[in-house]
Structure 1
Amino acid sequence: MVDLQNILGFAYCSVCAMLRFLQEGCNLPAHAMVLCRIKGRSDVGTHYAGNVGNQAEGYMWNKSGRLFGTLLRFLAVMASTALLAGCASTISARVTSFQQWPADASGQSYRIVPAASQVNNLEFDSIADTVRAAIGPTGLVEAAAGSSPRFDVHISYDNPVTQTWVQRYNDPYLNDGWGFGPAFGGYYGGYRGWGGGIYMTPSVSNVPVDVYKNTLTVTIKDNRNQGAEVYRSSAVNVSAGENLLQVMPYLAQAVFDGFPGNNGQVREVEYDHRR
């Protein structure tokens, strides 16, 4: 009968190896490795995640060892599910900014001025609230009702759609959730479903997709300077789904990222997005 402490110790080490393997999987590792000590033994074994469940000490593969193998597979599946659920994707945007920002603007007041088509529009009101939440880097404060603010803030947004061709994995589980390309560069496969350390690239196909250009533009005008435009910033995010409202908080953050920046500056920004 295999010593229970040895079984539990090996289970702990194997699950740690699988967690390490999956965690680094988000960054496309070639393999993962873990060092562990099995309680009750004096030697330190080096186990590769690709061999977990297929190679173990000979004395462990008796009847109890087979039961342990089933338990190990269950623990590894649970660990895989928990870790992959926490992997973060990112949302990127291209930001173009122009500015002639006055030096004495900090602490001055602003108001959001809707266009005629945006008055009494609930969607616009929601997006205006998102811009309010992101406007902090300007140093401006919203004017009280009935007062005369120094700055007027104008908001425009759109998500025109076009069609293009992209590469997709034929396995849908390997594509990312935001529409453009594989989530990982490949996958690990191997003997008996445990991964033998052989890196295989799954097949891909060219498929047509709808492309949405989620766009937010914020313009700020200075009423002390005859309504001159002192800041204009546009953020564009490209996606394969009609998700303008979902990405709007990131676009609002992007238009004020690095405020006020250099005049005529074009830059790429990226934010973590947890699924």
Structure 2
Amino acid sequence: MTHHSPSRLGKLRLVAAAMLLMAVAACATPFKADVSRFQSQLPAPSGQSFAIVADDPKLSGGLEFAQYASLVRDRMAKLGYTPVEDPARATLIVRFDYGVDGGRERVRSTSIGNSYWGPWGGYGGFGRFGRGRFGGWGGFGSPWRYGFYDPFFDGGGVQSYTIYTSGISMKIDRTADGQRLFEGKSEAVSTSNRLQYLVPNLVEAMFTGFPGNSGETARITVAPEKK
């Protein structure tokens, strides 16, 4: 009969625990965002400065807005644009906004032939959030609206869960004449409503391949939320 030393058993348990954690991580659902971007003569970063302001005046001066705006500031700075605090001294004004709706309950079930109905049927977009300041979020052909694959459903039996629609918007205007140079929206449907998780991922999606192809909607996948 073979006997294992306590140290060896301990190592085996650690290996088993590590493998279990890896399996759980592998099952985590990636964060997928639809990003729509439009641009017109957006200047090269060299010699350009920018200031970030709240597109919704009610967010202006808030600590939460400042935290999320800093994410945009860091991304713009990495591209080569120079951040300044005073909008009057900036050559570009970046208007930033964010939010998440109150959630909708979804019940999913399989039907004959293992097919199933689309999870986001009737989904009206981010415009249902708050005061509706993001009116057209559902309007740029999001596949979530047309029975797109449901990442939160494993295809077995009946499941009920809450889904949330979140989004950010970013607009860049030229200070000299107020001309709009860039508009971008990043939208996601997820089972999380934590802005501390959602906004950084939406910002990451917005700046993936920035500024992108004008008029194109891209699906960007980023890391899932850590539990």
TM range (shorter): 0.5 to 0.7
C-alpha separation in 2, matches of 1:130 and 1:124: 10
Structure possessing the higher relative contact order (Cα contacts under 8 Å, 6 or more residues apart): 2
Query: How has the CA–CA distance of structure 1 residues 82 and 260 changed in structure 2, closer, same or farther, with 3 Å as cutoff?
Result: same
Which of 14, 29, 34 is matched with 1:78 structurally? Answer: 14
The aligned amino acid for 2:16 is S
How many residue pairs get matched? 180
C-alpha separation in 2, matches of 1:134 and 1:210: 31
| Aligned partner of residue 41 in structure 2, secondary structure | coil
TM-score normalised per structure 1: 0.56
Is the CA contact (8 Å cut-off) linking 1:98 and 1:263 kept in structure 2? yes
C-alpha separation in 2, matches of 1:113 and 1:75: 54
C-alpha separation in 2, matches of 1:123 and 1:103: 29
| Aligned partner of residue 89 in structure 2, secondary structure | coil
Asked whether 1:230 is paired with 2:172, we answer: no
C-alpha separation in 1, matches of 2:12 and 2:225: 23
C-alpha separation in 2, matches of 1:81 and 1:69: 18
Query: How has the CA–CA distance of structure 1 residues 205 and 73 changed in structure 2, closer, same or farther, with 3 Å as cutoff?
Result: farther
C-alpha separation in 1, matches of 2:48 and 2:216: 24
Match of 2:107 in 1: 165
TM-score normalised per structure 2: 0.67
Two-structure CA RMSD over aligned residues (Å):
3.0
The percentage of aligned residue pairs carrying the same residue is: 22
Over residues 9-48 of structure 1, what are the superposed CA-to-partner deviations in whole Å (9 max), with x where a residue is unaligned?
xxxxxxxxxxxxxxxxxxxxxxxxxxxxxxxxxxxxxxxx
Asked whether 1:122 is paired with 2:63, we answer: yes
Structure 2 residues not aligned, in runs of 5+: 111-150
Could you tell me how far 1:154 is from its partner in structure 2?
Answer: 0.8
Correspondence list, 1:195-274, <5 A: 204-224=156-176, 226-273=177-224
Which of 37, 50, 75 is matched with 1:110 structurally? Answer: 50
Query: How has the CA–CA distance of structure 1 residues 156 and 111 changed in structure 2, closer, same or farther, with 3 Å as cutoff?
Result: same
C-alpha separation in 2, matches of 1:229 and 1:253: 22
The aligned amino acid for 2:196 is L
C-alpha separation in 2, matches of 1:154 and 1:216: 11
The aligned amino acid for 1:129 is S
Query: How has the CA–CA distance of structure 1 residues 238 and 78 changed in structure 2, closer, same or farther, with 3 Å as cutoff?
Result: same
Structure 1 residues not aligned, in runs of 5+: 1-62, 169-178, 183-202
| Rg larger for | 1
